[in-house]
Amino acid sequence: MRLEEIQQAAVGLFAQKGYAATGIRELGRAAGINSATLYHYAGGKEEILSGVMRTCLEQLLRSAIDATSSSADPGIQLARLVRGHVGLCALNPLTAKVTDQEIRALGSRDQEALIGMRDDYESVFAKVIERGARTGVFQLTDLRIARLALLEMCNGVANWYRPDGRLDVTEVQDRFVEFACRLVGISVVSREESGDLPPIRLACEPVPVHLRGQNMGAAG
């Protein structure tokens, strides 16, 4: 689909140079089309950004619901939340980075909606942490600080992980589950208990170089 190619090009540029510093002609060039054609498929610069962010946040929300629905144990829930978040950030680092950093670029309409989604997502973490602490499972002094530290740590994955690097996604997920468990003061949740959430590649994430041409038909 043409829209997704445009989104991929846009995510790549937005992640690298920032939304405001990326020109619409530049976007078109990266997508291989005229900048006017871009409006036909994607409807404008801001709409591209909001579409990408919505895709990302929807997936995060779905992932969070999955993570918390199959077990009532706060430790397992937390581990699965972290595994899902880190998985998404590792497989879609550019999309995740853009989603995390460019909300400010949106007009108030989109901004409010997306901030709402992000708040919904974070409140899933907040509730798990709260229940873990209240039931005495987690050893935490300040729940809000713990949640923020945890989320920032996980978000950070998007800043340095690259799918074409030496590290396996699962490896990184394992480490972050371990960090998260230590952070809240529980023993590490095993991969068996936290690991059946297949990480998902978003359509808007640019395809890394080492995967280029893999699933392309005769057209290319």
Site residues, DNA (CB under 7 A): 2, 22-26, 33-37, 39-41, 44-46
62, 198 contact by CB (below 8 A): no
At its nearest, how many Å lie between a second copy and the CB of residue 139?
A: 9
What does the alpha-carbon distance between residue 175 and residue 66 come to, in Å, rounded to a whole number? 21
Q: Which residue of 39, 41, 73, 156 would you call a contact of a second copy, by CB under 8 A?
A: 156
Please tell me whether residue 146 binds a second copy under the rule CB under 8 A: yes
Cβ closer to DNA: 44 or 116?
44
SS3 44: coil
43, 65 contact by CB (below 8 A): no
SS3 130: helix
Cβ closer to DNA: 38 or 189?
38
Largest CA distance in the chain: 59
Binding site for a second copy (CB under 8 A): 16-21, 101, 104-105, 141-142, 145-146, 148-153, 155-157, 159-160, 167, 171-172, 175-176, 178-179, 182-183, 185
